[in-house]
Amino acid sequence: NIPSAHPAIRALDEAAINRIAAGEVVERPASAVKELVENALDAGARRIEVAQAEGGKTLIRVTDDGHGIAAAELPLAVARHATSKIDGSDLLDITSYGFRGEALASMGAVGRLTISSRVAGSEAAEITVTGGRLGEVRPAALRRGTVVELRDLFRATPARLKFLRSDRAETQAIGDVVRRLAMAEPFVSFTLADVSGGEERLSFRADAETGDLFDALHGRLTRVLGAEFTKNALRIEAEREGLRLTGYAALPTYSRGAAVAQHFFVNGRPVKDRMLLGALRAAYMDVLPSGRYPAAALYIDCDPARVDVNVHPAKTEVRFRDPGVARGLIVSALRHALAGAGHRASSTVGG
């Protein structure tokens, strides 16, 4: 029995490709917020305002004062695999948050996306993409920067809509994204408002006075993690083989009952990385009882060629070329700081 008709192979059209890719890039409203705020940061914004309605399901709006997009380039900005951030020749040397050129295209495929933007010295313009279809570039009213509005995310894909959680849970996830990026960028001002009447409101002002990183970091971490964290935190500053570690790590007495306050940033990018979390745990192993978790906000900076960020579209994992160096740096710097504050390994605890 020979099967009769074999299925023909066809190339998918652009809209279908975008909808498939969108599943990886835009899982939920918070992932759209992350991509949009990262775009604002990549554009050099100093002030970023985020507004959301109903957990971001009906509206996400990100306003920035960055360098803007030229009117003629708006259609390219929403095209797939179009980016101003890399030229593709060196994927091991990435210094921007974005580089895949698929976030805006994905959002235009799964919602109604409007981008209004203005570059210095030109008129403002806007474009709307609905379900993957581009509208005309029209004149817009805008003084500077960029406003991106994403409405009715997943309205056209009810199956995806069903996977979203309650407005409350999605609102919480958006808050977490803004808090993490606010910790990553202490010199940038952030606000988050719920325009559908919810309570969640965040405001992290950057202190224009200070150019000092530790001052800015201390102020920002106090606002984001709370005054109890910074009051109990040790300043961390260390270097090993070209890897630089800065930040704050809390005394064992400020440990938590869950791993809720462990924040890592690699070359400015918030990451959730098992190796880094493991190093943090190892550093506190002898000074914390089991079931207690250290709190820390730690920043690792190195030559971008020494860490691969091209692991996953959501980009929260990284791969160090020499993970042993990063781990060793964290463990030794934290142990040293803890010992300096009178918390030494088990032999001296209680002694």
Report if residue 313 touches Mg ion, rule: CB under 5 A: no
3-class DSSP assignment, residue 37: helix
Residue 99, binding choice from ligand ADP, Mg ion, none, Cβ under 5 to 8 Å by partner class: ligand ADP
Write down the least CB distance from residue 203 to ligand ADP, Å.
Answer: 20
Would you give the distance in Å from CA 196 to the centre of its chain? 24
Q: How far apart are CA 200 and CA 267, in angstroms?
A: 29
CB of 66 to ligand ADP, least distance (A): 5
Query: Shortest gap between Cβ of 166 and ligand ADP (angstroms)?
Result: 28
Binding residues for Mg ion restricted to 151-190, rule: CB under 5 A: none
Which residues make beta-bridge pairs with 61? 51, 149
Residue 146 interacting with Mg ion (CB under 5 A): no
Q: Least distance in Å: CB of 35 to Mg ion?
A: 5
Residue whose CB is less far from ligand ADP, 84 or 222: 84
Q: Does 66 bind Mg ion (CB under 5 A)?
A: no
Per CB under 5 A, 29 contacts Mg ion: no
Q: Which is nearer to ligand ADP, 48 or 243 (CB)?
A: 48
Residue 309 near Mg ion by CB under 5 A: no
Binding partner of residue 100 among ligand ADP, Mg ion, none, CB cut-off 5 to 8 Å per kind: ligand ADP
Rounded Cα distance between 346 and 351, Å, is 9
Cα-based angle 230, 259, 305 (whole degrees, multiple of 5): 80
CA neighbours closer than 13 Å in the CB half-sphere of residue 5: 3
Q: Which does 252 bind (CB under 5 to 8 A by kind): ligand ADP, Mg ion, none?
A: none
Of the candidates 296, 317, 176, 210, the one whose C-alpha atom is nearest the C-alpha of residue 247 is 296
Closest contact distance (angstroms) between CB of 348 and ligand ADP is 50
Q: Does 103 participate in binding Mg ion (rule CB under 5 A)?
A: yes
Instruction: Pick the binder of Mg ion from 56, 98, 145, 175 (CB under 5 A).
Output: 98
Q: How far apart are CA 87 and CA 261, in angstroms?
A: 37
Q: Give the nearest distance from C-beta 197 to ligand ADP in angstroms.
A: 27
Question: How are the residues of the chain apportioned to helix, strand and coil, as percentages rounded to the nearest 5?
Answer: 35, 25, 40
69 near Mg ion, rule: CB under 5 A: no
Can residue 106 be called a binding residue for Mg ion (CB under 5 A)?
A: no
- Based on the shown chain and the rule CB under 5 A, indicate whether residue 94 belongs to the binding site for Mg ion: no
> CB-based contacts of 48: which residues, under 8 Å, 6+ apart?
37, 40, 41, 62, 63, 64, 188, 189, 190, 191
Return d(Cα 204, Cα 48) in angstroms, integer: 10
Residues 30-59, one symbol each (x = binds Mg ion by CB under 5 A, - = not), give ---------x--------------------
* Region label for 177, one of left (φ > 0), alpha (ψ between -120 and 50) or beta (otherwise): alpha
Q: Which is nearer to Mg ion, 22 or 236 (CB)?
A: 22
Strand blocks (E) in 195-309? 201-204, 233-240, 243-250, 262-266, 269-271, 296-301, 307-308
Q: Quick one: what does residue 101 bind among ligand ADP, Mg ion, none, with the CB cut-off 5 to 8 Å set by partner type?
A: ligand ADP
Q: How far is the CB of 77 from ligand ADP (least distance, A)?
A: 4
What string of DSSP letters covers 175-202? HHHHHHHHHH-TTSEEEEEETTS-S-EE
User: What is residue 256's DSSP assignment?
Assistant: B
Report in angstroms how near the CB of residue 84 gets to ligand ADP at its nearest.
3
Contact positions vs ligand ADP (CB under 6 A) = 35, 39-40, 43, 64, 66-69, 77, 83-85, 98-105, 146
Cβ-based nearer residue to ligand ADP, 74 or 221: 74
Q: Which residues have a Cβ under 8 Å from the Cβ of 31 and sit 6 or more positions away?
A: 25, 177, 314
Residues of this chain that interact with Mg ion (CB under 5 A) are: 39, 98, 103
